[in-house]
Amino acid sequence: MKKTFTLVVLSLVLISAVFVGGCAQKAANPPAQTKTDAPKRKLVAVGECTFAPFEFIDEKTGKPAGFDVELIQAIAEASGFEVEYKNLDWNSLIPALNNKEADLVVSGMTITDERALQVTFSDPYFTSGQAWAVKEGSPIKTISDLAGKTVAVQNNTTGDYAAQKLDARFKEEKKPGLIIKRFDNAADVFNELKAGGVDAIISDLPVIREYLKNHPEDKLIIPEPAFTVEYYGIAMRKQDKDIHELINKGLAKIKASGKYDEIYQKYFGKK
């Protein structure tokens, strides 16, 4: 009987030791965090917010708004990262990207060979083109009538490049060239035409249309269709391969889901 009692006691001690050891091991090795517990990656996007309807400052909130702003927010949600959108001057956008103040340029930026030497672009997300506008009643009826006239453009944009090419074309045709006045933001381009400081402006067709819609009192017209075809892309640093993948996958997802069309219709109507 005494021997049996001793065996029972020893068994209980061993069981307790195993139980305590197991608890200690569990305490020393807590469960690993799941992926859902990890904070999302945050990227900074920049644009020049005088380029409505792509990016502008909302008068009610004082924050950036527009097609590009909603587009990158939708891409971020689809690819599982957070995004902060900041307003910078146009000529500061690519430098901000390359000095790592920003991770993305989302600003109605046309994909060009020259820019592609400095940055990598996403897949195209918008088709645009350069057009020109004048005041109602202007004697300028066709693009050829611009020869010898003064035009306003935004500095270092494809509107600027298109004006330079048009100037060269006129000179090759033995016509007077263009007098090109350059401004730092799109709003000043329109203001110069409104004030009578130039004969015409050259800018992206959707931007001119948006201005005409919001400022009918200025009585501006677009005499002809766009005379170039361009594609917008999101600019990124060349070395950021992981970001390239995030953006292109997110863009593909929102196009497939219909979210892209929803944002497009909000700002431009049906395709």
Q: Kindly give the confidence (pLDDT) of every residue in the chain, 271 residues in length, as a single tens digit, with 9 standing for 90 and above.
A: 433 434 343 344 444 444 444 444 444 455 554 445 567 899 999 999 999 999 999 999 999 999 999 999 999 999 999 999 999 999 999 999 999 999 999 999 999 999 999 999 999 999 999 999 999 999 999 999 999 999 999 999 999 999 999 999 999 999 999 999 999 999 999 999 999 999 999 999 999 999 999 999 999 999 999 999 999 999 999 999 999 999 999 999 999 999 999 999 999 997 6
Counting the structural domains of the chain, the total is 2
Within 10 Å of residue 196's Cβ, how many Cβ atoms?
8
Specify if 20 maps to a domain: no
- Count Cβ atoms within 10 A of the Cβ of residue 206 and give its class: 0-12 exposed, 13-18 middle, 19 or more buried: buried
Does residue 68 sit in the same domain as residue 91?
Answer: yes
Q: How far is the C-alpha of 160 from the C-alpha of 226, rounded, in Å?
A: 15
Residues 66 and 114 in one domain: yes
Same domain as 134, residue 120: no
Task: Evaluate whether residue 163 is within a structural domain.
Answer: yes
Instruction: Give tens-digit pLDDT for 155-196.
Output: 999 999 999 999 999 999 999 999 999 999 999 999 999 999
Closest of 119, 103, 102 to residue 111, by C-alpha = 119
198 and 121 belong to one structural domain: no
What's the whole-model pTM score?
0.83
Query: Which parts of 122-195 fold into alpha helices (H)?
Result: 158-172, 186-194
Cβ-proximal residues to 71 (8 Å cutoff; 6+ apart), any chain: 106, 125, 254, 260, 263
Are residues 204 and 254 part of one domain? no
Both 198 and 237 in one domain: the answer is no
CA distance 24 to 202: 74
